A and B are shown apart, each in its own frame.
Chain A
Amino acid sequence: MPHEPTRRQAIAGLGAALLASRARPAMALGAASQLDVAEIMLPSGSTSRPAAWSRMLYELIQTTSVEANPQAVQLAPDDPALFAHPFSVLVGVDGFDPLSDRAVEQLRRYLAYGGFLLLDDGTGSPDGPFAASVRRLCRRLFPTRPLSPLPGDHSVYRAFFLLDAPLGRVAVSDVLEGVTKGPTTPLMYCPNDLSGALDRGPDGTDRYPVVPGGGEQRRQAKKLGINLVMYSLTSNYKHDQAHVAELMRDGKLE
């Protein structure tokens, strides 16, 4: 199916590049249709890192064709407004109390009908109290589908960038975990504190040091953030046959 570009295609590609260089800024029909981040706030155990998500969305806008509104809104898990924000995060810094039945029911519907939730472990400890709370929550949301490590060929690792590991502020785990339903994984758990790597202080400097990889690890964390957003929009698109075949031909996949 893939084929070498012809001379005609090469000329067409050059034309496309020239046209793209004068492309207007992308915007949806109304800001409400643009992608943003909903931070789910709990009475205890969670935190808000809007600057981290703004940075992630800014990187997304600069790097990809996705139209985004680089802001984060804070919502309770049972707030119906959650349904206006299909990409949501829950950043944990400690264990949290069990959610109300109403909140669990809403989250379940949110994830079942197209929402995406990233559970970001700000503690940097995959065996810590936040992780335990996450697993307890997942059992309530998906009683028959446990939170499991995502395989190395999962689409989230190739949604835009090719990633070897899901690095964040720390690198305590080589894998993301998630709950997969059919062809999609609507819930993922990142043990490496992604938002910690992206967060910035009021002066615009990085809020936390990234260990052990320093600047390069922070760069990888940006790539992970972009991949997570791209995955939430395209799900298993990168597993479509056309992509797999071409990436293998280019030597990017084995």
Chain B
Amino acid sequence: MMTRIQTLMVLLLMVIACSGPDNTRITDSWVRLPPPNMQMTAAYLLIENPSSEGITLISATSPSIKLIEMHKTESNNGVATMVQQEQVTIPAKGMVSFEPGGLHFMLIGFNDDLTEQNSVSLTLNWSDGTSSVVSAKVLRGKP
């Protein structure tokens, strides 16, 4: 016989499991091959959220990269400006595309050499405390 507290905790766990990014689909991930001697590049991917709750990305990390920031390239009268994003929300039953000229992960400083066709492990950290790990191939341009 479960106590009321235990029942509550089970319910809470169920809620977390449902609202977490378990069903989140992350595809089309790639990292732009940095030019020689440049310690900066960008990563791109597509996140789909089939659940009925929005999910919020708060950061990204990688053992290969010193610092990852989320930015959005915005255009004002043709002038491209990078606007840092503290968080990015993927709406319920929606998707968000990180793509060239738009949202992107800015990769600053490399612990490993990024070579073409190799893969970089990226960890996406969600506001609910969970995280998703994706492997992004290093490519010259969008596949």
A binds B: no
